[in-house]
Amino acid sequence: MMSSYTGKRNTGAQILSILLIGTLLFSLSSALKNASAEGDLPQPSERQIIDGSVSGPAFLNAYWTDRSASTSTADVRKEVGPGDGASTLAVVMVNRGFSAITGITGSLTLPQGFSSNGRASSSDTAVATVDSVVDAGQTFILYFDLDVSDSTRVGTYNTALKVEYQRLYETGSPRTSEDTIPFRLTGKVILDPVAVTHNLVPGVSNNVDIAIRNTGSAPATGVIVSMTGISINGGSTSTIESSSGSTIRPQITNFGTNTFTIGTIPARSNATFTTALFPNISAGGNTAGIQLQITYNDATGSAKTLTPAVGVIVLQNAPSIIAVRASSGENQTDNRIVAGKADNFVLEIANKGTSLITNAVVTMQSSSTSLNILGDSKWAVDQIEPGSQAKLETQVFASTSLIGNPATFDVTIDYILDGSPKTEKYVLGTYVDGEISLRIYDLSINYVGATPTLVGNILNEGNTAAFFTTIELVQTPGQNQLATRGNFTGAGEFNPQQQPQQNNNSPGGNGQSNPLGSLFPQQQNNAANNNNGNGNGGGQFRRNNNNTAFAPPAPQYLGDLTANSPLPFSIPLNIQRAEPGTLYPVTVKITYKDNLRNSHEFVTSGNAVVASQQQVANITLGGRTQNPVGGPLFMLIIVGAAIGAATAAFFVIRKKRAKNKKKLNTPGNGPDKRKNIEDILENPAATDVAKTKDDPSTTTK
């Protein structure tokens, strides 16, 4: 069994060997056939290999270059177009021979439109040389200085190039290599942005068209334009704010797109893009520069970037058709604000133009934290007719720390006029004034010696001082007033029964100011006395029967009247002595100046009662009964009573001392029976000696 299996295995191996040998023989036969076929192709001979046309310099590339910007290791390629004049064409060659070459001179036949600008062998041939040794397999460049005329066309040119050279260490005539080479006049991209829309109207959104013109001779590809900023009058560039941005709005705001992808701009063509610019009112009458950044690919395929600026003009502001005026609720002549209280404030928006203003939105803001708007600060007005106005009311509060200082409100008005949105801003000035509110009280007529004197107090109930205050009594000549008649009670109060009778031209006796005039107190006429009687002697006031008018005294200067601080006054009167209880209607005028040194008058009327020697006079002022403190006579009485009490005390003490002295002088059994109190106090030592003699117990044993 084993011998049979071994025999079969040997037979299979033989068969496999035969197949491998057959395959190898077939492959060798195919290789021999291919070698025979290649032997039939023309192969260069040794002479051809040595000949310059095969082993000499060969053309690789040609381009235009700027040799002034080139380095020793690389050339800077550039665009050249018709009319560029002196230009340099670089022709790149390679030494494909087996040895180094030297003495290289190239002669380029120039097509129509080109001429030699450097070394030339004839009018249509440019010459370039290489002074170095070029090793086998290395490249070298021939620089031909050409002049490109205006008539030259952009495109590819094929021209003859002849290169003469010598192999290193070779003598004899130079070798020559001739070939036809292509080169291309690329043309030039010249991009020039210009604003199609030159003028901008302030206060409205303007659609601005900007054109990118390609004035060159080659197309610009991959053009992208970005707006990077806007400068006003050549100033610093402000940040562009889009319509959705949250930065501070510059004087000219871009509401449109910032970046535009244009693509290709053919030669001698242009591309236009549009954006929306909004110059505010403050930009009127200025010039603006729109900063651009343009990136593109030139004719050589190189990426280029430009950063030009486009100029526009913001027109002068048209005369505003809106007038803004403010006034306080109490005083329509100015816009003063009274500090320390909520004050009414009226903002008036007037349409001075001939067109209807619609959809107006008015916003008012305070520029100070001490000045607050308590009421509305934003209003919407549907429309304002030409020649009409809208009154917007609110309330404001100014702190007393602002008294005497100016304050401002920032007012912004957005509206639509003739279909165009507009915005106007105003700074509204105002003045914060203090409040001066005067009141006179404790008014009476007292006698200082024999002189009747009108006394009282002035109180400033406001929050700022009244300066240069004077007080005087006023009189309307020829007018008489009747005195008030009433009962004087034991409690020192006056109960009026009848108010003073006044004619139509006299001010009232209610204590209110009367700028037209006032009355000076006069002694009552006999007619009034006869009509009303002289009283019943039971505590009723008496009327003055003298009908003689007297001249008012001169005004008295009181100085500054500070807030919440009473200021007393006394005015001597030149009147005849009147009986106690006589009632005089008086009119007092107080003049003062405010913080702005504006003069003011305060006129008030009241009734003053002549006080008696023992009785404090009661007054009636502004319809109210006053009970003032007693005058100088009352003080004299108090002083006299004090002196009398002191005198009485002196005599009582003296009498008591006399009684004590008499008692001491009475005989008795005491040790001091021979002395009075004065002797004991004056000589205490003698007293002790006498006491020792009389008392045996004190004797020394």
Instruction: State the first-to-last Cα distance of the chain, in angstroms, to the nearest integer.
Output: 182
Instruction: List, in sequence order, every beta strand (DSSP E) within 18-84.
Output: 57-65
Structural domain that includes position 562: 438-630
For residue 38, being part of any structural domain is answered with no
CATH label of the domain that carries residue 578: 2.60.40
For residue 644, being part of any structural domain is answered with no
Question: Residue 88: phi, psi to the nearest 5?
Answer: -120, 125
pLDDT at 577 over 50: yes
Closest CA to 630 of 651, 643, 641, 614: 614
How far from the centroid of its chain's Cα atoms is residue 602's Cα? 42
Are residues 527 and 568 in contact, defined by beta-carbon separation less than 8 angstroms? Answer: no
For residue 104, being part of any structural domain is answered with yes
pLDDT at 271 over 90: yes
Do residues 382 and 495 share a domain? no
What is the C-alpha separation between 154 and 189, in angstroms, rounded? 12
3-state secondary structure of 13: helix
pLDDT at 352 over 60: yes
For residue 561, being part of any structural domain is answered with yes
What is the C-alpha separation between 381 and 390, in angstroms, rounded? 8
For residue 255, being part of any structural domain is answered with yes
pLDDT greater at residue 667 or residue 591: 591
Do residues 214 and 106 share a domain? no
Do residues 171 and 224 share a domain? no
**pLDDT band with cut points at 50, 70 and 90 for residue 185:** very high
Do residues 612 and 672 share a domain? no
Are residues 240 and 258 in contact, defined by beta-carbon separation less than 8 angstroms? Answer: yes
The arithmetic mean of pLDDT across residues 231-244, rounded, is 54
Do residues 200 and 177 share a domain? no
Per DSSP, the residues of 636-652 read: HHHHHHHHHHHHHHHHH
Lowest mean pLDDT of 119-133, 369-383, 401-415, 653-667, name the range: 653-667
Closest CA to 600 of 432, 438, 402: 438
> Which percentage of the chain shows pLDDT scores above 70?
67
What is the C-alpha separation between 389 and 402, in angstroms, rounded? 31
- Which pLDDT does position 480 carry in this prediction? 44
Do residues 415 and 491 share a domain? no
**pLDDT band with cut points at 50, 70 and 90 for residue 322:** confident
**pLDDT band with cut points at 50, 70 and 90 for residue 16:** low
pLDDT greater at residue 694 or residue 71: 71
Alpha-helix runs per DSSP H in 124-261: none
The arithmetic mean of pLDDT across residues 334-340, rounded, is 84
Give the single-character DSSP code of 385. -
Do residues 583 and 701 share a domain? no
- Which pLDDT does position 143 carry in this prediction? 93
CATH label of the domain that carries residue 178: 2.60.40.290
What is the C-alpha separation between 105 and 93, in angstroms, rounded? 12
Do residues 362 and 306 share a domain? no
Do residues 481 and 622 share a domain? yes
Domain count, the chain: 5
The arithmetic mean of pLDDT across residues 578-606, rounded, is 86
- Which pLDDT does position 82 carry in this prediction? 93
Closest CA to 581 of 629, 535, 548, 622: 535
Query: Which among 158, 185, 212 is the end of a domain?
Result: 185
The arithmetic mean of pLDDT across residues 632-638, rounded, is 67
Query: Which among 162, 185, 208 is the end of a domain?
Result: 185
Q: Tens digits of per-residue pLDDT, 496-530?
A: 333 333 333 333 333 333 332 333 333 333 333 33
Do residues 446 and 424 share a domain? no
For residue 6, being part of any structural domain is answered with no
The arithmetic mean of pLDDT across residues 330-341, rounded, is 76
What is the C-alpha separation between 194 and 213, in angstroms, rounded? 8
Do residues 336 and 445 share a domain? no
**pLDDT band with cut points at 50, 70 and 90 for residue 551:** low
For residue 637, being part of any structural domain is answered with no
CATH label of the domain that carries residue 235: 2.60.40.10
- Which pLDDT does position 165 carry in this prediction? 92
How far from the centroid of its chain's Cα atoms is residue 409's Cα? 12
**pLDDT band with cut points at 50, 70 and 90 for residue 216:** very high
pLDDT greater at residue 203 or residue 310: 310
**pLDDT band with cut points at 50, 70 and 90 for residue 422:** confident
Q: Tens digits of per-residue pLDDT, 436-481?
A: 999 998 888 888 777 788 888 999 999 999 999 999 988 533 334 4
Do residues 223 and 111 share a domain? no
Query: Which among 133, 152, 185 is the end of a domain?
Result: 185
For residue 74, being part of any structural domain is answered with yes
